[in-house]
Amino acid sequence: MNIFFVQIVLFLLIISLCVNKNTLATELIPKKDKKHKSNKFTKHKPKKNKKCYPTYDNTKEIYQKNKHLLYIDTEETIKACKFMNDALKQLEHHATSKGYTICGGIPSENKVFYKKKHRGHTKILKAEYTVDDPNEVSINEQHQKL
């Protein structure tokens, strides 16, 4: 696996994260009530501002406005899926392969960090996190309870 392949995979992962953040940022936000904006000249106590939700859903308008930005080439989508599946196979191979050296860890949190060089120039870091099985009881704990 060459560096260019790794860079492409990381680029695609970063792009998917950015798109996810933009999707979350474009959700509808409740608008504040603007009726009681200026209360200088009123004699009664101002009421607490209540949040007003939009009465109509403008997602169709947004879709129509940005429809030209959508990419609908199915062949490229299929190729991208195959590419990501290949990248996932490579990731699984590196996660399960041997040949790593321990480079640190946090014993109190059951974390161990490993590293190795792939083909002499690509640094691969791996973190292993062990989760204890709550259904499994060790012999020492069993004797202490008795």
Cβ proximity of 112 and 126 under 8 Å: no
Domain boundaries, the chain: 1-96, 97-146
**Six-digit token string for 140:** 């020492």
- For the whole model, what pTM was predicted? 0.36
d(C-alpha 105, C-alpha 113), whole Å? 5
Q: For residue 131, give every residue at least 6 positions away whose Cβ sits within 8 Å of its Cβ, in sequence order, or none.
A: 110
Cβ proximity of 103 and 114 under 8 Å: yes
Tens of pLDDT along the chain (146 residues)?
A: 567 777 788 777 777 766 665 555 555 555 555 555 555 555 555 555 566 655 566 788 888 888 888 777 888 889 989 999 999 988 888 778 888 888 888 877 778 888 888 787 777 888 887 777 767 655 555 444 44
